[in-house]
Structure 1
Amino acid sequence: MQPDWYPAWRDDAFKQLVAKNAQLEKDFRLGHWPRYDYDLTAGKLLFSEQGIVKVVTEVQVAGSTSAKAGYWLWAWANSNMPGELLEDAKRVRSFGEDNGIDELAHPYVTDAGDDLEALGWELAGTMVRVCEALGAYRSPRGAGGGLYLILKSIKWAS
């Protein structure tokens, strides 16, 4: 279930995410650093080159995809995620509950088009829009999935 306005709203959220991520690429070279590391305990995503951290971001976890399982799992429904990194995901869940949007309020989301990466980016874009985040980053995971992180702040490392 979803309200009539939601599909166009979600498409617009994805377009906004593409523009935000393009700006992050331009300003901070995201997507071009040879290495990244995330620390979910500290809520940080670090980009580095030759062992030197260049860019530091604060993150929240949106969710993850799994090709093996065939679905998106919202971070708020994943007991393996640290609670302090779920505040924004919980905001999205509340937004979904308040507006009757099942894919935001239910733990698992499947994709009729069978393109989990596209679904992950679309749902991450929804979270970026609801939470007014700076952008999103996808970290590849085993079994053809990805962990989607929402960027809350970003700066050059000192």
Structure 2
Amino acid sequence: MMTNPDWYAHWRAEAVDQLNDKNRRLQDEFRLGGWSRYDYDLTSGKLVFSDEKVIKIIAEIQVAGSTSVKAGNWLWAWSNSNLPGEMLFDARMVRSFGEENGIDELAQPYVTDARDDLEVLGWELSATTVRICHAVGVYRSPRGEGGGLYLIIKSIAWAT
């Protein structure tokens, strides 16, 4: 059983509301979700959105974590040995925040959801990451076996 401080549930709910506002702004300003193609490169830390093979939007990213339908859980990026170290800075900040504040779900590698809704869990934990790391939004990339990879958007701009 994971334990968390009394204030954390409300704080996390505020983080979700803040992320919803941030992602709405990204949709309005950059048409996120409306481009015909997206690609991410975990070596360069870039997420690009294209239309007709022309890059339109470039975002700097970090990885928060991923959900797996097969495993039935969330895996923090800081605990995923398949990810390059330079993509884990924000996730490591979240882990430290969790350790300092006694928030088990931020400090343990895997998180399961009592409600059995991995999609909601992924967005909630990503929202927490955005709040702690002062990011501008999140993009969720679907994974082949089900679940998603949650990419934290650090900065975003129109391609020039």
TM bucket (normalised to shorter chain) is over 0.9
**Counterpart check, 1:54 vs 2:56:** yes
Which residues in structure 2 correspond to 1:58-97 (within 5 Å)? Answer: 58-97=60-99
Q: How far apart, CA to CA, are the structure 2 residues paired with 1:9 and 1:130?
A: 11
The aligned residue for residue 47 of structure 2 is 45
User: Sequence identity, in percent?
Assistant: 68
Q: How far apart, CA to CA, are the structure 2 residues paired with 1:84 and 1:144?
A: 25
Kindly provide the CA deviation profile for residues 86-135 of structure 1, in whole angstroms up to 9, marking residues without a partner as x.
Answer: 00000000000000000000000000001001000000000000000000
Query: What's the CA shift for 1:143?
Result: 1.5
TM-score, normalisation: structure 1? 0.99
- One-letter identity of the residue aligned with 2:79: A
**Counterpart check, 1:26 vs 2:31:** no
Output the aligned Cα RMSD. 0.4
The aligned residue for residue 146 of structure 1 is 148
Q: How many residues align?
A: 158
Q: How far apart, CA to CA, are the structure 2 residues paired with 1:142 and 1:15?
A: 28
The aligned residue for residue 135 of structure 1 is 137
TM-score, normalisation: structure 2? 0.98
- One-letter identity of the residue aligned with 1:48: S
Query: What's the CA shift for 1:144?
Result: 1.2
Q: How far apart, CA to CA, are the structure 2 residues paired with 1:59 and 1:37?
A: 12
Q: How far apart, CA to CA, are the structure 2 residues paired with 1:31 and 1:16?
A: 19
Query: What's the CA shift for 1:142?
Result: 1.3
The aligned residue for residue 158 of structure 2 is 156
What SS does the aligned partner of 1:113 have?
coil
- One-letter identity of the residue aligned with 1:56: I
Query: What's the CA shift for 1:51?
Result: 0.3
- One-letter identity of the residue aligned with 1:14: V
